[in-house]
Amino acid sequence: MERVHKVFGATRALDGLDLCLDRGEILALLGPNGAGKTTAVSILTGLRRPDSGRVALLGGRPDDLAIRRRIGLTPQESGFPPALRVHEIVRLIRSHFPEPLTDTALFERFPLEAIWKRQAGGLSGGQKRMLAVAMAFAGNPDLVFLDETTTGLDVEARRALWRSIRVFRDHGGTVVLTTHYLEEAEALASRIVVIHRVKAVADGSVEAIRREVGQARVSYRGPDPDGLPGAVRAERNGEHVVVLASNADVFVRALVERGIPFVDLEVRPASLEDAFVEITGGAEG
């Protein structure tokens, strides 16, 4: 999508968002609530139209049926007709796609067998999420959108989903996922776009995003590192000081040279979470 703007009443939901998607990649849209992730996905999937800008998907418009037959996405939680059984819902979804997954292929990726004959209304929250995710893949699409999909899944189910996503990608599938689990973006994404205050504020690989704010996270107990070279940002947490450093070597050397009385020094690569906090100015997802 190019220069996409979207306004809801007095609220600007997207302000000139550019987003480019390559075949076979797993793109994570990351950002705090209300940043515009879901709006971006709604526009990409043809649910909403942009006020201005251009959107092309798989070489066509997202509201074109032929294009939509190649896209899978998840219904939002608890959105299933409660009286329909799981196999009936799966059957309905699959009937829209030219070459959907067979039961066997579906069961290989998702543990649906145990709930196959149950009514959707009686499923637990986790089971509904799992069914919702399976629906995105059931049509055997080329491109899958997962909007906050793993929210509410337990750790085991989340890992299982990550495996399915990787299998899908290994078979040439493309995935766009929005999440506020940084761990998830870090584990899965080949590229990350951070959306903050209705704009894309960072775009790149996990590595690149991390580099943007600092290579390393240095922590120790002791006084504040005021004005030391190599530090991007420092934060105090009780006795502990956490420093994001663009150059950890320079910073640690300065720490020693100035004779700052530190103990328990620890240096590790910056995580995506550190980068995220830095980019969005501390706004938590």
Q: Which is nearer to another protein, 24 or 81 (CB)?
A: 81
Report how far residue 62's alpha carbon sits from residue 203's, in angstroms, rounded to the nearest whole number: 23
Q: Which is nearer to another protein, 93 or 160 (CB)?
A: 93
Do β-strands 26-30 and 191-196 pair in parallel, antiparallel, or remain unpaired?
parallel
Separation of first and last alpha carbons in the chain: 24
Q: Which is nearer to another protein, 82 or 269 (CB)?
A: 82
The distance of closest approach from Cβ of residue 129 to another protein in the complex, given in angstroms and rounded to an integer, is 12
Q: Which is nearer to another protein, 77 or 203 (CB)?
A: 77
Q: Which is nearer to another protein, 173 or 214 (CB)?
A: 173
The distance of closest approach from Cβ of residue 131 to another protein in the complex, given in angstroms and rounded to an integer, is 12
**Strands in the chain per DSSP E:** 2-8, 11-17, 26-30, 52-54, 71-73, 143-147, 174-179, 191-196, 199-204, 216-221, 231-237, 240-245, 263-269
The distance of closest approach from Cβ of residue 50 to another protein in the complex, given in angstroms and rounded to an integer, is 10
The distance of closest approach from Cβ of residue 82 to another protein in the complex, given in angstroms and rounded to an integer, is 8
The distance of closest approach from Cβ of residue 16 to another protein in the complex, given in angstroms and rounded to an integer, is 19
Please count the residues of the chain.
285
Residues interacting with another protein, by CB under 8 A? Answer: 45-49, 65-66, 68-69, 71, 73-84, 88-89, 91-93, 95-97, 119, 135
Place of tokens 């990351």: 30
Report how far residue 279's alpha carbon sits from residue 213's, in angstroms, rounded to the nearest whole number: 8
